[in-house]
Structure 1
Amino acid sequence: MNQEEILRPAEPVGAEQVAEATQLLQKYKAGKAALDRRLIDNELWFRMGHWKQYKNRMMEGKPQPSSGWLFNSIASKHADAMDSYPEPCVLPRAADDEATARTLSSVLPVVLEQADYEQVYSDTWWRKLKQGTGVKGIFWDPTARGGVGDIAIRPMNLLMLYWEPGVMDIQDSPNFFSLSLEDTKQLEERWPALKGHGGSTLDVPRYIHDDSIDTSGKSVVVDWYYKRPDETGRPRLHYCKFCNGVVLYASQNDPALAGRGLYDHGKYPFVFDVLYQEEDSPAGFGFIDVMKDCQTSIDKLNQAMDENVLLASKQRYILSDTAGVNEEELADFGRDIVHVAGRLSEDTFHQMQTAGLQGNSLSYLNSRIDELKEISGNRDMSQGGTSGGVTAASAIAALQEAGSKLSRDMLKSAYRAFAKECYLIIDLMRQFYDEERVFRIVGENGQNRFVRFSGQTLRPQPGGNVGGVELGSREPVFDIVISAAKKSTYSRLSQNEMAKECYQLGFFNPANADAALAALEMMDFEGVEKVRDRVRANGTLAQQLAAAQAQLAAFTAQLPQTNQPQTASGGRKALAAALPRPDTAANRGMNLNRK
């Protein structure tokens, strides 16, 4: 059976189709073997255990220092990513969907929180920085919420994922495999059909650990995703789970999903977030691949320097066999007397001197460290350090802002991947949120409000008819804009300082509203629109106040002038008499009584 027949099986999925899928998986594994070796190697580098790769007997007994420059760079990038945790904002493409978009903007963060997305986001970023690619899986878990079902988001191990070699996008791969290693006994208890089907021919690559991990009692479970076009030519996503050649579940064997597919969106439920893109591959390379050579040079220089310091701090002697010196007493520094048989001379006994470190060696080491900082963009300024006499707060802020452009570029790619994840979540809501659900939303003022939501609002809506002609249905379509929900302490401090500067410059003085608005039009910072609205409102209030004062002055000028000065109470009474009274029933009654 060829690949096209796997995509379009004429009969339900069985042992024959699984055998063909297993052969195809072996081809995919062979095409990804080099990437798997690099992933295993990078994990050692991240744990600073790369000396295990140097299998050289000459290295035994020598210092094996592992400096943390590479690790510090990766940890700093991960901290930048967590400071810019994403938050979705759903925008409608049609006016009819504006209310639904607002509801989705409130509901999506709650769904992400219930799926423990922050932990998934953190784990994926570690793998993105180490391996060059972070992968998240967006699934529907029918067992969640007591059987009601809900969306599950999981960080995926790139070492266990396989696709057709040569494709740039996994959606272009005709098949996609996700492997996992699970306990055989638990699998047999869940699926009794597995009993007696041991001895799997599949093998999975493993990371190198310090502990010994026994995998003899485990089996490889394969999640096989593939696309098959329906009668209209639209690709339908199907799913088959098998282990040791036995089909555990297949969507094509399920009458409810045989013609519909697993997910209505028809896409593989995986999102790849690439750090540095490689051609003809959905996976990329990360910081370790770029910095490992420089880190190797730093560690070998540290090894040579440590060995030199140890040799220079230890007394060593050149001793001839004819010197007659008691070697045990000479090597024992606790003895005050060393016995000698015969007469010593410089030819038979003298101390060995080890030259100390040279200044150029230290300079070369520092230059390699600076090179690694430049490569990773992890300069001192980005971590709050100062150099070159820079002490002004504004100068430090400008240097930190310029030094964080690499982090901002990485965040943009992560936000694009996050938008794809949100689209998949909305599609799963549209398909599986049959029952109305209640979500607790925390407002800006800290008050709770409860929003009811179901997938019915996301499904195609009838378009009505014109002149007896049915217009069909229209499915709501949305745009997703990503912003940072969490800011670093430095960002909050910088924005607070800007607010104080605006106050000191008189931006919030109503009399300066026009000038302040002109300045704010040329400024760009987060929340600038709210500041413009506040300044514009202050200017409007100032204009209303000036108009009221002018009207009051006009009324005052119309008061009768007398030669005798009026008291303050008399002036208020005259002003009250001159001002027009509201046309109320009480006033009309008082006027009639006066008549």
Structure 2
Amino acid sequence: MEQVRQAALTLQEYKQGKKALNEKIINNEQWYRLHNQGDGAEMTLTNAPDSAWLFNSLANKHADAMDNYPEPNVLPRAKDDTETARQLSAILPVVLEQNRYEQVYNDAWWYKIKHGTGCKMVVWDGSKAGGLGDIDIRMVDLLNLYWEPGITDLQASRNLFHVEMVDDEVLLERWPWAQGHTGGAEQVPKYLYDDQVRTDGKSFVVDWYYKKAGRLHYCKFVNDCVLYASENDPDYAGRGYYDHGKYPFVMDVMFPMAGSPAGFGYIELMKGTQYSIDVLGAAITRNADAASRIRYFVNRGSGLNEAEFTDLDKSIIHVDGNLGEDAVRSVQVPVLSDIYVTHLNNKISELKETSGNRDFSQGVTGSGVTAASAIAALQEAGSKLSRDALKSAYRAFTEECYLCIELMRQFYTAPRAFRITGEGGTGYEFMDFDNSGLVPQREEMDFGWGVSEKLPVFDINVVAAKKSTYSRLSQNEMAKELYQMGFFNPELADQSAACLQMMDFDGKEQVLESVQKNGGLFQQVQQLQATMMKMAAVLDAQNGTGITANMGQAIQNGEQAQPGKADSKHKVTTDSIGNVAAGNSLAVQAQRRAQNNANPHRGENET
């Protein structure tokens, strides 16, 4: 109980240290929702219209991320772990799919773009899979996560707290001993919702992760009531809650900040420019509105009938007395200079440059650029900022996959059935998998001196499962160019392999392996042909047959034959020792007569 009270005090300390970051996240959410006019400290013009230039940049960044959705490929570090790595490569995508990872990836990227940090948790949920338990992957709102102030690596924090609001009925249904301890907890910061979100009848449950003696422990509590503690659990008291010993949270930072594991996003970069665009746009719009309205100065003693004067359908306007020249005069509204419109356009260009969201990244090009290859080249050159952000996302994804493997190593003690994609990407098949290939493997040392344990370790290579249109186009074009240049001709395998080793593109290893395999098969065929020619020469010397000449002609005809243009008149088909297999051409008949003369009883034996 005393440890929980101390943890609650530590949580309050962490909240104070993270106060500025929480306020920034809430403010950024308002800008994202185009509600920036609600912040009176920043917006000076009343009812200034919101333009969506900032949102357009964010949407394009998110679209780039979804075009390059990641997919894991597990590689072994030791030869005897190859089969386990192959199984993991097939199973990991299934585990991610079962957790609806594409939606998690989608939400985390929106959070990363807006607030600078996407965070996901990879934990073990014992209630999944019918009570057997399974991996659970979710996105984490940074408003609910608290770490030690001043650190830059989340794993370096002495404690880590994740706070979540839970309905009291659900809480008491699962942990009945929490009766009397619900509610009354200090609320975490929350967004400025449009709807009224009630918090009565709910409690804030704290997941407390801490490291002790090199082991990771976990405690869940509400107020001063402990719901679960790994140190009180005999199964985990000595080993820690997770064997991997890491906090089960992975942070994907857009732009890093010193002294914090979190970063800042595009909203902070662009909201100053977006503010200028909104103010200038409002001024120009109001000037255009004022200039489009015809207004008049009317002398009070003019005797003008204002109702008839303002009614454009009236042909006659009555006036009492003499209407002088100064009785009615139109209001002249000064027209803004073009410099303001130019400045507005410059601000829009500044926002595009700052965010890297140039026109050609959306398929729009300037005059004179019409070739598809030129447009694609401009799009590729302009996407380097997106590629840089994707690399950090892939690094985070790699860490998430490592955590998944570690959870499999610890908890997959019983076989589980998975439906995986079949060979060649067609159909599907079923696979049983457990942690037998992941736990330490016992192996004898050299010369029989004892037994050691080897822990299977794997590398993860991340590839884009859903490539962008440009990537697919360039990949297809390159494949056609390689084919036209003869890279897949087995006779040029050595030259093609040397050239491919100097190139760099996705899937190069598979292409190089295919070229080398074809070259090896071609060499084997040549060796077999040479062996057959030697055997035919021996038979010719013994029996006086013409097998050698016929085989040479058959090989030559086979080399000269083109696909779809086989010459049936001169082509000779032979078996492994040069005997005619099929055909009725003159060459075939001559060979048969030569063989019958050499062996007059051949036909009888065959009969």
TM-score with structure 2 length normalisation? 0.85
Deviation at 1:199, TM superposition (A): 5.0
User: Corresponding residue for 1:307?
Assistant: 286
Distance 1:133 1:383 in 2: 25
Distance 2:64 2:526 in 1: 49
Which shows bigger deviation, 521-530 or 279-288? 521-530
- In structure 2, the CA distance between the partners of 1:228 and 1:533, relative to structure 1 (3 Å rule), is closer
Amino acid at match of 1:81: A
Amino acid at match of 1:246: C
Residue-by-residue CA offset, 1:531-572 (whole Å, 9 max, x unaligned):
44555566667777888599599514999xxxxxx9x85532
User: Corresponding residue for 2:12?
Assistant: 26
Deviation at 1:105, TM superposition (A): 1.1
Would you say the 8 A contact 1:510–1:542 is kept in 2?
A: yes
Q: Secondary structure at the match of 2:261?
A: coil
Q: Secondary structure at the match of 2:370?
A: coil
Q: Secondary structure at the match of 1:204?
A: coil
Matched, 1:43 2:29: yes
Would you say the 8 A contact 2:104–2:139 is kept in 1?
A: yes
Distance 1:374 1:277 in 2: 20
Mapping for residues 94-113 of structure 1, pairs under 5 Å: 94-113=78-97
User: Corresponding residue for 1:479?
Assistant: 459
Q: Secondary structure at the match of 1:265?
A: coil
State the aligned residue count: 561
Matched, 1:574 2:598: no
Mapping for residues 98-137 of structure 1, pairs under 5 Å: 98-137=82-121
Mapping for residues 540-579 of structure 1, pairs under 5 Å: 555-556=549-550, 569-576=585-592
Would you say the 8 A contact 2:36–2:43 is kept in 1?
A: no
- In structure 2, the CA distance between the partners of 1:436 and 1:546, relative to structure 1 (3 Å rule), is closer
- In structure 2, the CA distance between the partners of 1:303 and 1:588, relative to structure 1 (3 Å rule), is farther
Q: Given the alignment, which residue of 405, 416, 441 partners 1:437?
A: 416
- In structure 2, the CA distance between the partners of 1:526 and 1:354, relative to structure 1 (3 Å rule), is same
- In structure 2, the CA distance between the partners of 1:350 and 1:200, relative to structure 1 (3 Å rule), is same
- In structure 2, the CA distance between the partners of 1:579 and 1:310, relative to structure 1 (3 Å rule), is farther
Distance 1:578 1:546 in 2: 26
Matched, 1:455 2:439: no
Q: Given the alignment, which residue of 399, 402, 410 partners 2:389?
A: 410
Would you say the 8 A contact 1:434–1:454 is kept in 2?
A: yes
User: Corresponding residue for 1:140?
Assistant: 124
Q: Secondary structure at the match of 1:472?
A: strand
Q: Given the alignment, which residue of 239, 253, 256 partners 2:232?
A: 253
Amino acid at match of 1:386: T
- In structure 2, the CA distance between the partners of 1:140 and 1:498, relative to structure 1 (3 Å rule), is same
Distance 1:557 1:485 in 2: 50
User: Corresponding residue for 1:490?
Assistant: 470
Would you say the 8 A contact 1:555–1:579 is kept in 2?
A: no
Which shows bigger deviation, 333-342 or 264-273? 333-342
User: Corresponding residue for 2:559?
Assistant: none
Mapping for residues 235-274 of structure 1, pairs under 5 Å: 235-274=214-253
Would you say the 8 A contact 1:436–1:452 is kept in 2?
A: yes
Distance 1:446 1:66 in 2: 49
Deviation at 1:253, TM superposition (A): 2.1
Identity of aligned residues (%): 54
Distance 2:109 2:443 in 1: 43
Distance 1:275 1:544 in 2: 53
Residue-by-residue CA offset, 1:84-127 (whole Å, 9 max, x unaligned):
11111111121221111111111111111111111111110000
Mapping for residues 280-299 of structure 1, pairs under 5 Å: 280-299=259-278
User: Corresponding residue for 2:544?
Assistant: none
Distance 1:119 1:107 in 2: 19
Residue-by-residue CA offset, 1:426-449 (whole Å, 9 max, x unaligned):
110011111001211113241322
Mapping for residues 454-533 of structure 1, pairs under 5 Å: 454-464=434-444, 469-508=449-488, 519-533=499-513
Deviation at 1:466, TM superposition (A): 5.4
- In structure 2, the CA distance between the partners of 1:341 and 1:480, relative to structure 1 (3 Å rule), is same
Deviation at 1:511, TM superposition (A): 6.4
User: Corresponding residue for 1:180?
Assistant: 164
Distance 1:76 1:301 in 2: 24
- In structure 2, the CA distance between the partners of 1:536 and 1:25, relative to structure 1 (3 Å rule), is closer
Amino acid at match of 2:145: L
Matched, 1:73 2:73: no
Deviation at 1:283, TM superposition (A): 0.0
Q: Secondary structure at the match of 2:260?
A: coil
Deviation at 1:363, TM superposition (A): 1.7
Q: Secondary structure at the match of 2:398?
A: helix
Residue-by-residue CA offset, 1:233-270 (whole Å, 9 max, x unaligned):
xx111111112322222222222222222111111110
Distance 1:112 1:296 in 2: 40
Which shows bigger deviation, 82-91 or 342-351? 342-351
TM-score with structure 1 length normalisation? 0.86
Amino acid at match of 2:106: S
Q: Secondary structure at the match of 1:321?
A: coil
Deviation at 1:162, TM superposition (A): 0.5
Residue-by-residue CA offset, 1:121-173 (whole Å, 9 max, x unaligned):
11100000000000000010111111111100000001111001000111111
User: Corresponding residue for 1:562?
Assistant: none
User: Corresponding residue for 1:563?
Assistant: none
Deviation at 1:193, TM superposition (A): 3.0
User: Corresponding residue for 2:256?
Assistant: 277
Distance 1:504 1:209 in 2: 60
- In structure 2, the CA distance between the partners of 1:325 and 1:403, relative to structure 1 (3 Å rule), is same
Deviation at 1:492, TM superposition (A): 1.7
Q: Secondary structure at the match of 2:124?
A: strand
Q: Given the alignment, which residue of 134, 138, 160 partners 2:144?
A: 160
Which shows bigger deviation, 514-523 or 265-274? 514-523
Would you say the 8 A contact 1:100–1:457 is kept in 2?
A: yes
Deviation at 1:187, TM superposition (A): 2.2
Deviation at 1:337, TM superposition (A): 4.6
